[in-house]
Every structure is written in structure tokens, then in C-alpha cells.
Amino acid sequence: MVGRSKVTIVGAGNVGATAAHWIASKELADVVLVDIVEGIPQGKALDLSQAAPIDGFDVKIVGSNNYEATANSDIAIITAGQPRKPGMSRDDLLKINAEIVGQVIDQIVKYSPNCFIIVVSNPLDAMAQLAFRRSGFPKNRVMGMAGVLDSARMRHFIAEELNVSVENVTAFVLGGHGDTMVPLPRYSTVAGIPVTELIPKERLDEIVKRTANGGAEIVNLLKTGSAYYAPSLAAVEMTEAILKDKKKILPCAVYLEGEYGINNLFVGVPVKLGKNGVEQIIEISLTNEERAALHKSAAAVQELVNILGI
């Protein structure tokens, strides 16, 4: 019998710990929760392990302050970094989190040279680019979680607007994870019907705007932290697609080399995720307006990448 998969989650804050919870409850893999703060990953791992007899999941969950325990992981989910505070843009986090993520990547590469890396730390696209450059991994093994979350937010708003099941709603959001993201109503459907047929344009524009500001809305409500249920589950959906070789098409931040007219940059586009990680980048046809919006979004990512010199 082949042993269970192993997933390392770096950062035992709300996003990391909740990702561990989702992975355990789905029995996807054994989990190693790593954090620099002593006791936090160990305490959360122990608490979650004690939930296993109640829910009936058989996975091993370990907390650690060093990376030895992460050796030979199949996937590393990077959530480490400072969260956004009210009034703070994702870009304000750039320099602080670049240093943290860089050090994390060095350790991940040392102990799990064959793993896939899923970056959740903000500013997302620039951190994914940093992880790619710093790790030296091939581009199919490094990706950023953004589009799955942004699309889920849009799906929720559409389902709420039409009073239909979220399971009927498909939404597509491309571009960088931030204010310049590009929700595509034309490719968003309810039971196969384009939402443009069901929701008036003005109302749809409001939903698109609310989607782009989805993270900030939650930051402003919570006052002391940012979203974690949906972001963590979005990373877990990507993890599951890889571990189970699902060939699932999901919007993820990946390294583009000419696709959509964008070069040498991590930007959110639809990709096929399977056992080889990013197995295909899917190019959909865009209107001139959509293409311009995507390029504007890419330019915003490029600006951050230039500041970091990566």
C-alpha cells in the first residue's frame, strides 16, 4: 500500500490552521504545520488531532518550529507573512512579506526538493514570482492561489442575487489578486446560462466591483485580521486537484511566457491542475476591453516584481 501524501503548511495563523483543518477532514494527506512562534503550531496540531476521533479522520497532524519535520512533502502551502490591516493595501505588505517568503522557500527547497508550491501570502502574484525565482523549480510546480478564491466570492454574490444554489454558478476571475483583478461576467454562468442573460448590466457591474474588493470588505468588518475560511479552502481545492490528479480547470496565478500576450510574469488565468501540477494553461478568447483589463492587471503585478527586482 502506498503511504499517505504529505502536505506542509507554513504559517499556523488563521489561513494555515484552517487549511490544515480542511485537509484533515477530507483525509487528503498527513499535515505538518510550521510556524516561527513556539507552541502555536504544536498547540493547533494537537487540538486538531483531538478532533479526529470525533469526526473520524485518520491523518497525522504535526506542529513544528523547524523544517526537518516537513521533509519529503508532496505539496507546500505558503501562508506565512503579515496579514493586511485596515487601510493597508496588499502592496504595503510587499517588502515585509518578500523577506519572510524568501526564507521559507529556501527551507522548503532544502527539505522537499520535489514538492509543488502553492503560494497564499500577499501580495499574491509577486510572492508567487518570488517563490518561483528563489526555488529554481520548474514553472509547473509553483502556483499562486487567487482566482479560486476570487471566483468563489463572485459565485456567492451571483447565487445570492438570483437566489439559486451556489453549485449552479460558475464564475471566472482572471488577472492579479487585487483591485485590478478581471472578473469575466461573459464566461460566468448559472446552470449553463450566461449571467449576462439573468442579471442587468448595472447590477452585474456592482457584483464585479464587490468581488474585486472582497478581501478589503472582510478586513474592514473583522478589524483585526483578514479572511481565512474561503482562502484556505481555495488552496485546499488546488491541493486536492494535484494529489488526486483531477485534471481540474481552476483559475490560478501561474508563470506566463507569451500566453495572453503576457511574458515572464505570474498572473491569474485558467489552468488544468493534475498530478504534474500546472499541466496546461488554457487560453480563452477575450474582447479588446477584457484583454486591456488583463494587461492593466499584469502591469500592476509587474510594478511589484520590478520593486523586488525579480
pLDDT of residue 90: 64
Is residue 2 pLDDT above 80, yes or no? no
Average pLDDT over every residue of 126-134: 97
Residue closest to 208 by CA, chosen among 174, 183, 225: 183
Per the listing, cell 505570474 goes with 266
Assign 3 a pLDDT band (cuts: 50, 70, 90): confident
pLDDT at 227: 95
Average pLDDT over residues 95-109: 96
Domain locations along the chain: 6-144, 147-308
- What pLDDT does residue 82 have? 85
262 CB contacts (<8 Å, ≥6 apart)? 256, 294, 295, 298
> For 237-279, what is each residue's pLDDT tens digit?
999 999 999 999 999 999 999 999 999 999 999 999 999 999 9
Residue 89 binned pLDDT confidence (cut-offs 50, 70, 90): confident
CATH class, domain 147-308, is: alpha beta
Q: In the prediction, which pLDDT does 278 show?
A: 98
User: Which whole number is the average pLDDT over 49-72?
Assistant: 97
| Contact of 185 with 208, CB cutoff 8 Å | yes
Distance CA 230, CA 282 (A): 24
291/182 Cα distance (integer angstroms): 9
Which residues in 45-81 are b (16+ Cβ under 10 Å) and which e? beebbeebeeeebebebbbbeebebbeebbbbbbbbb
Equal CATH topology for 6-144 and 147-308:
no
Average pLDDT, the chain: 95
% of the chain at pLDDT higher than 90: 92
Confidence of residue 1 (pLDDT cuts 50, 70, 90): very low
> From the CB of residue 221, how many other CB atoms can be counted at a distance below 10 Å?
10
pTM of the model: 0.96
Residue 59 grid cell: 491523518
Q: Which residues are catalytic?
A: 177
Contact 84, 219 (CB under 8 A): yes
The yes or no reply on domain 6-144 and CATH 3.40.50.720 is yes
Burial status of residue 133 (CB atoms within 10 A of its CB: 0-12, 13-18, 19 or more)? middle
Of 62-66, 87-91, 101-105, least confident by mean pLDDT is 87-91
